[in-house]
């Protein structure tokens, strides 16, 4: 039907043609999805069958994403809790620390302070927030001090030091201060944290300790001087009186007089031993005690100890024996004076605590050590006493001191001396049976053979007369006369000066071969007098003769110009040994 026919126009259609073959039309309908071939919605099974792979993949991806997100949330929560804990710990440290803490901004305005700051300074937190820490400045540090502090902070990010600050009350306090600069990620300083510790009590304690030590040293020096000066007169005069050669007649000293004078000597030497013990203890405790390392003859040392202690043992009913198992053919290197001091102390104790019985000193040597064994059959000691035997002032009980005397310093000093020589002392004892002390010392042989004639030659030389004119500067009349007599006895001419000023004048007007100078005198002391004599160009040797025997005193005498030293009290032989060096 054509499109322009009336029916087509009324129906509003283009018209149609009835094909002879409908297959083409069917194909078109199928292709266009029209008519019976229009698409219908797929079923659930059809959709699932078509898209199951995509659905499964998407589900797994979403599940994994959710799992990862949940793990991330858990991790973040843990970090937050950990950070919160650390922040709480830091807050507790800040709040309860014993040290004061100040936090400021970059402009040095206080942001926060802790309780220790408030307690130390007297300021409340409210009073200092927003203030500059310079409100604490004491004025004892200079402006350059603070300029250097901030320069160090800017360059190194940290400053540490000690300074004085001021409390709210105006009271000054010393502190050890550390300031740290806190930087941001760009390296710019955002804050400063200052931590300080109050040192006032510590400094006060140190000051008192130093004062106590100084007072102790001063006391010891003073006590030494006050004891040694009269002891010099006692021991020296008694020695002269006992020397019957002074009078040319051995009968001039009556028996009773001899006993009295001997008692004076014994008492004087006992006092001197106590003074020496106290000074030794002081030097040991201060670390200023030095031992010698000089060649010496062990054979002569033991002979000297035997001579000294045999005399003391004569006053007891105990038998004292000495045994040297192997005699040394070469000189040893060490400190013979201190070795003898230890042995004499050990034997002296054995004699003191053995009223009846035997005492022995046995000596033998190994390849590396000397072994000295002092054994007695005295009162002995229980084990608990032996454990503390080498402590200062230690004795078995109070009755020991009352019965036998002694300060309790001897064994402490003996062990200390042994340890200074890299040795030791072992003790064993049994009550009512006896005690054994073993001194063990390392030794080194010298290349010099022992010359047993040396000591006799030295003693012979000491008996020779001397020649010369000696100036004696001494303010104590008794000691003036003692020194004059001793010097004249050995053949010397003596001129006396009562103080340092007179000694300087005499040394400038007369020729002297030697000057003996007391160091502690009125008007002008010995050090100043020595300096003035030396400054005048006078080269006469000057020997310090003084009761000030500590090392610091000897150093001062040497620095002033003294050539040698003689400590009070001195004996005739000791003085003559020094004189022979210069006359």
Statement to judge: residues 402 and 536 lie in one domain: no
Statement to judge: residues 486 and 543 lie in one domain: yes
Statement to judge: residues 443 and 325 lie in one domain: yes
Token code pair at residue 177: 């201060």
Percentage, residues of the chain above pLDDT 90: 41
17-31, 74-88, 170-184, 434-448: which has the minimum mean pLDDT? 17-31
Res. 360: pLDDT tops 70: yes
Per-residue pLDDT tens for 84-139? 666 666 565 667 677 888 999 999 999 999 888 999 999 999 999 999 999 999 99
Q: Evaluate whether 339 touches 422 at the Cβ level (below 8 Å).
A: no
The CATH number linked to 137 is 3.30.450.20
Global confidence as pTM: 0.53
Cα→Cα distances 506→488, 495, 527, 530, Å: 19, 9, 16, 12
Residue 137 DSSP one-character state? B
Residues 543, 547, 548: CA angle, nearest 5 degrees: 85
Looking at per-residue confidence, does 464 or 376 come out higher?
Answer: 376
The CATH number linked to 434 is 3.30.565.10
Statement to judge: residues 101 and 181 lie in one domain: yes
Rounded Cα distance, 274 and 410, in Å: 9
Tell me how many domains the chain contains: 4
pLDDT of residue 579: 94
Per-residue pLDDT tens for 517-562? 999 999 999 999 999 999 999 999 999 999 888 888 899 999 999 9
Statement to judge: residues 372 and 513 lie in one domain: no
Query: Which of 396, 415, 450 is the endpoint of a domain?
Result: 450
Q: Is 83 part of any domain?
A: no
Rounded Cα distance, 288 and 182, in Å: 48
Statement to judge: residues 509 and 548 lie in one domain: yes
Mark 489-517 as b/e (b = at least 16 C-beta within 10 Å).
Answer: bbebebbbbbbbbbbbebbeeeebbbbbb
Statement to judge: residues 445 and 495 lie in one domain: no
Statement to judge: residues 498 and 435 lie in one domain: no
Rounded Cα distance, 47 and 78, in Å: 44
Q: Is 85 part of any domain?
A: no
Statement to judge: residues 273 and 307 lie in one domain: no
Q: Is 49 part of any domain?
A: no
Query: Which of 163, 198, 233 is the endpoint of a domain?
Result: 198
Q: Is 143 part of any domain?
A: yes
Statement to judge: residues 357 and 443 lie in one domain: yes
Looking at per-residue confidence, does 57 or 396 come out higher?
Answer: 57
Looking at per-residue confidence, does 386 or 397 come out higher?
Answer: 386
Statement to judge: residues 424 and 335 lie in one domain: yes
Which domain does 431 fall in, by range? 298-450
Rounded Cα distance, 216 and 207, in Å: 14
Cis peptide bond prior to 387, omega within 30° of 0: no
Q: Is 412 part of any domain?
A: yes
Query: Which of 450, 485, 508 is the endpoint of a domain?
Result: 450
Q: Evaluate whether 479 touches 472 at the Cβ level (below 8 Å).
A: no
Statement to judge: residues 441 and 489 lie in one domain: no
Rounded Cα distance, 349 and 389, in Å: 12
The CATH number linked to 497 is 3.40.50.2300
């Amino acid at each position: 039907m054509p499109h322009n026919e009336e029916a087509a126009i009324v129906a509003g259609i283009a018209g149609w043609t009835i094909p002879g073959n409908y297959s083409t039309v069917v194909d078109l309908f199928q292709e266009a999805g029209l008519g019976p071939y229009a698409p219908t919605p797929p079923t659930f099974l059809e959709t699932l069958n078509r898209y199951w792979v995509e659905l499964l993949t998407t589900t797994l991806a979403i599940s994994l994403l959710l799992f990862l997100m949940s793990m991330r949330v858990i991790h973040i929560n843990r970090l937050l809790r950990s950070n919160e804990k650390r922040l709480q710990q830091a807050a507790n440290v800040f709040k309860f620390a014993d040290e004061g803490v100040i936090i400021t901004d970059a402009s040095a305005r206080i942001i926060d302070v802790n309780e220790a700051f408030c307690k130390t300074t007297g300021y409340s937190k409210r009073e200092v927030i927003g203030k500059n820490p310079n409100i604490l400045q004491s004025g004892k540090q200079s402006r350059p001090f603070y300029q250097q502090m901030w320069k160090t902070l800017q360059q190194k990010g940290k400053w540490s030091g000690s300074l004085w600050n001021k409390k709210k009350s105006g009271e000054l306090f010393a502190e050890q201060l550390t300031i740290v600069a806190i930087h941001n990620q760009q390296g710019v300083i955002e804050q400063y944290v200052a931590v300080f510790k109050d040192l006032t009590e510590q400094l006060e304690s140190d000051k008192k300790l130093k004062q106590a030590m100084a007072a102790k040293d001063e006391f010891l020096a003073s006590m030494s001087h006050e004891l040694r000066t009269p002891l010099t007169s006692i021991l020296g005069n008694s020695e002269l009186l006992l020397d019957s050669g002074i009078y040319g007649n051995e009968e001039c000293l009556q028996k009773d007089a001899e006993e009295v004078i001997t008692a004076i000597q014994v008492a004087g030497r006992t006092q001197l031993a106590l003074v020496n013990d106290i000074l030794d203890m002081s030097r040991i405790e201060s670390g200023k005690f030095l031992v010698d390392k000089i060649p010496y003859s062990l054979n002569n040392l033991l002979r000297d100890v035997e001579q000294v202690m045999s005399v003391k043992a004569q006053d007891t009913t105990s038998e004292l024996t000495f045994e040297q198992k192997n005699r040394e053919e070469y000189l040893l290197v060490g400190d013979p004076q201190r070795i003898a001091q230890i042995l004499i102390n050990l034997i002296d104790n054995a004699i003191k605590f053995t009223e009846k019985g035997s005492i022995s000193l046995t000596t033998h040597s190994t390849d590396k050590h000397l072994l000295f064994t002092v054994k007695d059959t005295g009162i002995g000691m229980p084990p608990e006493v032996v454990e503390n035997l080498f402590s200062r002032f230690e004795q078995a009980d109070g009755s020991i001191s009352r019965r036998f005397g002694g300060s309790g310093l001897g064994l402490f000093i003996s062990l200390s001396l042994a340890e200074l020589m890299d040795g030791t002392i072992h003790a064993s004892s049994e009550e009512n049976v006896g005690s054994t002390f073993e001194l063990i010392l390392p030794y080194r042989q010298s290349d010099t053979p022992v010359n047993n004639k040396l000591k006799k030659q030295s003693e012979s030389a000491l008996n020779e007369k001397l020649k010369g004119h000696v100036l004696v500067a001494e303010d104590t009349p008794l000691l003036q006369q003692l020194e004059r007599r001793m010097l004249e006895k050995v053949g010397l001419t003596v001129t006396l000066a009562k103080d340092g000023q007179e000694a300087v004048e005499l040394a400038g007007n007369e020729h002297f071969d030697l000057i003996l100078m007391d160091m502690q005198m009125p008007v002008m002391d010995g050090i100043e007098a020595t300096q003035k004599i030396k400054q005048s160009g006078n080269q006469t040797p000057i020997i310090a003769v003084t009761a000030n025997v500590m090392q610091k005193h000897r150093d001062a005498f040497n620095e002033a110009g003294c050539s040698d030293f003689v400590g009070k009290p001195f004996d005739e032989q000791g003085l003559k040994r020094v004189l022979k060096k210069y006359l």
